[in-house]
Structure 1
Amino acid sequence: MMRLDSTTESAHIDRFVLDGLPPTDQWPEITLSEPLFSYPSRLNAAAVLLDGAISQGWGQRPCMGLGDDMWTYSDVYDCANRIAAVLAEDFGIVPGNRVLLRGANAPWMVAAWFAVLKAGAVAVTTMPLLRAQELAKVCAKCAPAVSLCAEGLEAALRKATDCPIAIWGPAGDLEAAAATKTGKFTAIDTAATDPALLACTSGTTGVPKVAAHFHRDLLVIADAFAPLLQARPDDLFVGSPPLAFTFGLGGEVVFPMRVGACTWFCDEPGPEALANLIAERRATVCFSSPTAYRAMLAPKPRPDLSSLRRAVSAGEWLPRATFELVEAELGLKLIDGIGSTELLHIFISASDDDIRPGATGKPLPGWEAAIFDDDGNPMPPGKPGRLAVKGPIGCRYLNDARQSTYVRNGWNITGDIYACDSDGYFWYQARSDDMIVSSGYNIAAPEVEEALLSHTAVAEAGVIGSPDPDRGMIVHAFVHLRDPSTATEALARELGDHVKASIAPYKYPRRITFCAEPLPKTTTGKLQRRELSKLTELAEQAGA
């Protein structure tokens, strides 16, 4: 076991990220004892995943597609090399410079990402939906030397940064510049512990938290999850998360390319488009959120999803009702998992016969997890507390005092409330800020949501605490019905009784608001409870 990684052999000429890492005594413990993680001290993740695919003879295999456009591994390799040459020769990018990427999920986006890594630079991948004000905060934090942007998304970026911007697309200059290059580029000989990626945490308000991840980390996430995913070269991957969300980067790029499989990107947002893509392309592996899986099953008739053999759910808590619905409708056991941007990808999960419906699972190979109280004392089996994990990847915020909040005594404190049973399975309770204290009782919002979702009339449910003069807080549920026209006071009472019959009666929602539209979500598909609070404020103002 070790706490520190050496960066003395770094290839970085620009040490902005290295110098912006927290002091080493604030790093979590890093454990690499698993044989799975026997990596050389020097590696470039792009060279391993992309150049390695070519050296293994996978060049003519389908690698990724969008619409009717399919790219082979050789196509991605050639394009990435040309973009890397543009970065190094035309823009003067040196190892350690940051390159911001802005685009939807597409082969060009992936080729650009690989190009940044091959050039020894650090990728800063941003959500396509970010506006100029949000992008400006990312740019201020990460100080990109150049930005690569999809055509049509550059306007907001130009307002956010003064750095040079190269645009890919029919009218862009990046493709023209890349066409002048030879397609040959030798990846920079980076250290395994050189930063390769700066990832902004989703849902951040104010100054974004930015986690630095090493070249080695990109291989760790694939190799740790491989025993559960059991991906094959003939698999076709699809997913809903954007590549700026590390759940999507792993599930739609790193994992399939680690085994020589193919990814087909969805050219439209939303569960309906994803379901149609699965049916059209006969996809076999899907990465998405619980909300999306539930929505994909809603249409009658629905697209043929029978080709799926593995389905991974993360990004938000998986209600047992959703797990059981997918299993009943598709014969699939959703592979649930919890991960974080700070730790790059999933670290607790279970698959196949090891799944216990309702539990997230057990730590992946190489990971440890524990439950502590607020003072750092271990909690006994079955008692909820703060989830703490450590393993082959750890949180390293860039220039951020919040490092000491996330990392304590060598553990990464994720901000989730969990309980661990006597068999070592971890059961989600709530985010630490999603606990509702009502009349002295602690009530986990997700538990009430799960009870509501088990009612046949409910399509979506979100629960928050609302102030109450007598109880301090009451449980307030926002419900989007399968048929919004059926919303009545009688149905609200029925839902309250349903919750009372499902879980402890004191947890039932004393207030139910029916929403005609789907509940607000982040770009990564997570329920936005803060937005539910705003809906309450607006309703109260309207009634005043």
Structure 2
Amino acid sequence: MELTPLTASAHADTFSRDHLPPVEQWPRLVFDLPELAYPDRLNCGVELLDRTVERFGADRTVFRAPSGERWAYGELRDQVDRIAQVLTTDLGVVPGNRVLLRGPTTVWLAACWLAVLKAGAVAVTVLAQQRAAELATVCEIAQVSQALCDVRGVEDLAKAGVPGLRITTFGGDGPDDLRELAARRPEPFTPVDTAADDVALIAFTSGTTGRPKGCMHFHRDVLAIADTFSRHVLRPEPDDVFAGSPPLGFTFGLGGLVVFPMRVGASAVLLEQAGPKQLLPAIAEHQVSVVFTAPTAYRAMLDELDRPNRPDKSDAYDVSSLRRCVSAGENLPAATWEAWQRRTGQRIINGIGATELLHIFISAADDGIRPGTTGVPVPGWQARVVDGKGAPVPDGEPGLLAVRGPVGCRYLADARQLEYVRDGWNITGDTYVREPDGYFRYVARADDMIISAGYNIAGPEVEEALLRHPDVQEAAVVGRSDELRGQIVVAHVVLRDSVQGGDAMAAVLRDFVKAELVPYKCPREIVFLDALPRTPTGKLQRFRLRESVPGERGGPAETI
């Protein structure tokens, strides 16, 4: 089944719909589950908040903060409606206006996001770490005229110098602070009757290798990720407590910390700082049952788990409350999966998603998990592996991952739409193999394949081999130009505390990899680093490694 945006829009400001790609450039949309048959009129803010209150009551906890503060669903609804009143009455926001949201992961940021949706505006949530030049680019592309910003992050936004941008801060103590304005707006708010295919949010790709792309998602899309991956794979329950490291400016975090728990009446712990050293005590304190984070964080948490965490050094972190652990953002090495399962008894739910498709579309849970693979298409989604011309390749052969489902790539006025969507499929840029039993196995990003002396080498495979060595904390493998071989394999390695790098350690690691893989895949150069370069969302920045990040190098390997 295919749907086109023919529904009458509620947007007075038609910028978003006017700048959707032509329908013929969309991927084919699939709505083959009964729960995806959404009505023509739909406001996802209302569905996540007001309808959940109707089903479960106003007194249930929805958000928790490390300080011990708790918000109930009814309290959140009241505050969201007050913010929506401020947006429409005090700030003059009309349906369809783009509203930038900036700040660390807090209850107030989540409330602002819901208020923007209920007001019929378009949420543009950015990372708290983004700087003035990046913010200026986002505002230019999305034509943003309003911003709600945590007072602690307003400096960079002001420096961006966006023409005509009106910034309203929250978290301060002035009379024009959003919280003060909201306190003066107790009257009921009537949500805007948006169309299911009105744009609800614009999520920007990281832009680490070029101009960022704005991915436009509809109100129905926000619910679709909850009604596919969350409902059928994650299977949360109303009494679950969610937590995780991805920020709300990252769609992985938006789904895992707001959309998924609210869809079922559950609660979430919102952490401003959510590294392993903050996430573990939060899990123990709040009895977190569902956690979202990246593979690197799971590996780091393993090192922290058994360290005494109280002043009297009496015990280690208690993670016995966990029942669901989700990993995405980068490939999950089998060694990390196995180590986490041995230590905690929990099977990590691996998954691949994309900003273009909002959240996870291939995954598996429970007995369906096979370490070393990503999984199978999430119910409601379809996937296949194709060659460069879009033709399916046989099982067992690598090719480009192509997916389609109820959410599809729609770039905001960007010619790269024709690169991502081909023949009705979303081409994610990942190289995959479909096994004969239907499981999909990650090979590499399509642009991360290393061709050395005629051999195709997938960097993640070499990384997984290195990570099986007990002294390796992190590993990243890239290709470097070489006159003789075209490219050589270069490994960047972070060792565990107290382990020294250098030529001797490099030789140990090369011998270890040769025992795990065929010799031509062994790194010809090993660079030891204190940390790998990552984006604010935790994604590895391989392009920076290709630019020769300085570090302590092990000597070159002998000719293979």
TM more than 0.5? yes
Query: In structure 2, what is the equivalent of residue 164 of structure 1?
Result: 166
Q: In 1, distance between residues paired with 2:499 and 2:234?
A: 41
Q: In 1, distance between residues paired with 2:251 and 2:549?
A: 32
Task: From the superposition, tell whether residues 424 and 94 of structure 1 become closer, same or farther in structure 2 (CA, over 3 Å).
Answer: same
Q: In 1, distance between residues paired with 2:301 and 2:216?
A: 34
Task: From the superposition, tell whether residues 274 and 203 of structure 1 become closer, same or farther in structure 2 (CA, over 3 Å).
Answer: farther
Query: In structure 1, what is the equivalent of residue 11 of structure 2?
Result: 12
Q: In 1, distance between residues paired with 2:549 and 2:491?
A: 11
In the TM superposition, what whole-angstrom CA distance separates every residue of 1:415-446 from its partner, at most 9, and x where no partner exists?
Answer: 00000011110000000111000001010111
Alignment of 1:352-363 (within 5 A): 352-363=366-377
Q: In 2, distance between residues paired with 1:424 and 1:456?
A: 32
Structure 2 residue matching 1:120: 3-state secondary structure: coil
**Superposition deviation, residue 183 in structure 1:** 4.9
AA at the equivalent of 1:170: G
Query: In structure 2, what is the equivalent of residue 258 of structure 1?
Result: 263
Confirm or deny: 8 A CA contact 1:151 1:171 kept in the other structure: no
Confirm or deny: 8 A CA contact 2:7 2:40 kept in the other structure: no
Q: In 2, distance between residues paired with 1:217 and 1:483?
A: 44
Query: In structure 2, what is the equivalent of residue 229 of structure 1?
Result: 234
Q: In 2, distance between residues paired with 1:202 and 1:303?
A: 33
Q: In 1, distance between residues paired with 2:438 and 2:209?
A: 35
**Superposition deviation, residue 491 in structure 1:** 1.8
Q: In 2, distance between residues paired with 1:290 and 1:485?
A: 22
In the TM superposition, what whole-angstrom CA distance separates every residue of 1:448-478 from its partner, at most 9, and x where no partner exists?
Answer: 0000000001000011111222211111001
Structure 2 residue matching 1:490: 3-state secondary structure: helix
AA at the equivalent of 2:453: S
Q: In 2, distance between residues paired with 1:222 and 1:440?
A: 44
Structure 2 residue matching 1:153: 3-state secondary structure: helix
Confirm or deny: 8 A CA contact 1:202 1:245 kept in the other structure: no
Bigger mean CA offset, 298-307 vs 435-444: 298-307
Query: In structure 1, what is the equivalent of residue 178 of structure 2?
Result: 174
**Superposition deviation, residue 256 in structure 1:** 0.3
Matched, 1:197 2:211: no
Structure 2 residue matching 1:99: 3-state secondary structure: strand
Alignment of 1:378-527 (within 5 A): 378-515=392-529, 517-527=530-540
Task: From the superposition, tell whether residues 203 and 275 of structure 1 become closer, same or farther in structure 2 (CA, over 3 Å).
Answer: farther
Query: In structure 1, what is the equivalent of residue 25 of structure 2?
Result: 26
Task: From the superposition, tell whether residues 6 and 295 of structure 1 become closer, same or farther in structure 2 (CA, over 3 Å).
Answer: same
Q: In 1, distance between residues paired with 2:354 and 2:82?
A: 32
**Superposition deviation, residue 378 in structure 1:** 1.1
AA at the equivalent of 1:129: Q
Confirm or deny: 8 A CA contact 1:59 1:73 kept in the other structure: yes
Query: In structure 2, what is the equivalent of residue 241 of structure 1?
Result: 246
2:329 to 287, 299, 315: 315
Query: In structure 1, what is the equivalent of residue 126 of structure 2?
Result: 126
AA at the equivalent of 2:485: R
Query: In structure 2, what is the equivalent of residue 528 of structure 1?
Result: 541
Alignment of 1:21-420 (within 5 A): 21-67=20-66, 68-160=68-160, 161=162, 162-172=164-174, 173-225=177-229, 226-299=231-304, 300-301=306-307, 302-420=316-434
Q: In 1, distance between residues paired with 2:324 and 2:477?
A: 30
Q: In 1, distance between residues paired with 2:350 and 2:236?
A: 16
For the aligned residue pairs, the C-alpha RMSD in angstroms reads 1.4
Percent of counterpart pairs with the same letter? 54
In the TM superposition, what whole-angstrom CA distance separates every residue of 1:230-253 from its partner, at most 9, and x where no partner exists?
Answer: 211111100000101000000000
In the TM superposition, what whole-angstrom CA distance separates every residue of 1:168-187 from its partner, at most 9, and x where no partner exists?
Answer: 11325111111110152111
AA at the equivalent of 2:213: K
Q: In 1, distance between residues paired with 2:23 and 2:373?
A: 34
In the TM superposition, what whole-angstrom CA distance separates every residue of 1:121-171 from its partner, at most 9, and x where no partner exists?
Answer: 000000000000000000000111210000111111112223111111132
**Superposition deviation, residue 537 in structure 1:** 6.7
Q: In 1, distance between residues paired with 2:73 and 2:187?
A: 13
Confirm or deny: 8 A CA contact 1:203 1:522 kept in the other structure: no
Structure 2: give runs of 5+ residues left out of the alignment: 308-315, 554-560
Q: In 2, distance between residues paired with 1:180 and 1:266?
A: 28
**Superposition deviation, residue 263 in structure 1:** 0.3
Bigger mean CA offset, 301-310 vs 218-227: 301-310
Q: In 1, distance between residues paired with 2:481 and 2:511?
A: 22
Confirm or deny: 8 A CA contact 1:275 1:303 kept in the other structure: yes
Confirm or deny: 8 A CA contact 1:239 1:251 kept in the other structure: yes
Q: In 2, distance between residues paired with 1:124 and 1:261?
A: 25
Q: In 2, distance between residues paired with 1:125 and 1:89?
A: 22
AA at the equivalent of 2:524: R
Confirm or deny: 8 A CA contact 1:98 1:123 kept in the other structure: yes
**Superposition deviation, residue 372 in structure 1:** 0.7
Structure 1: give runs of 5+ residues left out of the alignment: none
AA at the equivalent of 1:239: G
TM-score relative to the length of structure 1: 0.97
